[in-house]
Amino acid sequence: MAGYVIAQLRPPDPLPPEVGRYLELVQATLDPFGGTFLVHGGALEVREGSWPGDAVVIRFPDVEHARGWYESPEYVRIRPLRTDHIDCDVVIVEGD
């Protein structure tokens, strides 16, 4: 069963340059784990509750690959470029 990393991001405006650097580097950390962006920003239509900010959905072959990516030394090294500058919530879920 596939694994997904889902993030709700509340970025500042304007984005700090560190976030741009993160965006340049993140794909190379996903590739070894089979991670693919399904949603990366884009228009959001909230139907229930509140969802301030943006959404990101990344698909992996399974939850183990998603965890492996999130905990990998390569990703851990660049993660502060995002977490130090963007307020966010991140979950890993299993699905089809």
Model confidence over 55-76: pLDDT tens digits?
999 999 999 999 999 999 999 9
Q: Per the domain annotation, does 69 fall within a domain?
A: yes
DSSP assignment letter at 48: S
Q: Looking at the predicted structure, is the pLDDT value of residue 28 above 90? A: yes
Distance CA 63, CA 78 (A): 21
Q: Per the domain annotation, does 65 fall within a domain?
A: yes
Cβ–Cβ contacts within 10 Å for residue 29, how many?
20
What average pLDDT score do residues 73-95 get?
Answer: 98
Q: How many domains does the chain have?
A: 1
Q: Per the domain annotation, does 27 fall within a domain?
A: no
